[in-house]
Structure 1
């Protein structure tokens, strides 16, 4: 399942907090020409390195399928970032 939304929470060092919700399908729709270009470039790289393109596509699909439910937290000093993929 492709992620539906990404929530980014940012705690700044001055105490302010920000929350940003990013819906994934509209972003993919806007970036679809770039996704097509990346897919063509990936196919060329796969053929140049003798990696089966379908195997690489299956691996990318597996990574995308595993993304929902991922939580990443980064902290440096008094600044913290939390990335929640649903």
Structure 2
């Protein structure tokens, strides 16, 4: 199943944490014209490098679906950024 929600939390020692919830599907729908353009570029790249277009798109879809449950923590100096993909 594809990811449904992206949660971002930014923590700084002097401020309250900032939390942002981003629903994946509405964002994908808003950026769908760019996604269509990216798909066309990917098809051309597959043809140029002689890679099966269907297998490349299936591998990309499987990678996208595997992102569910990913947790990324970035610590830079005194700030922390936490990204959770659900």
Measured against aligned partners, the alpha-carbon deviations of 1:35-80 in whole angstroms (never above 9, x if no partner) come to 1000000000110111111111111011111111111111011110
Tell me, in whole angstroms, the C-alpha distance in 1 between the residues paired with 2:44 and 2:12: 42
Structure 1 unpaired stretches of 5+: none
- TM-score, normalised on structure 2? 0.94
Matches of 2:78 and 2:13, distance apart in 1: 5
Aligned to 1:12: 12
Runs ≥4 in structure 1, deviation > 3 angstroms? none
- State the superposition RMSD in angstroms: 1.0
Kindly report which structure 2 residues correspond to 1:1-86, keeping only aligned pairs within 5 A, or say none.
1-86=1-86
Q: Number of matched residues?
A: 86
Structure 2: 5+ residue runs without aligned partners? none
Give the Å deviation of 1:12.
2.2
Q: TM-score, normalised by structure 1?
A: 0.94
Task: Give the deviation of 1:13 after TM superposition.
Answer: 4.6
The CA distance in 1 between the partners of 2:38 and 2:44, in whole Å, is 10
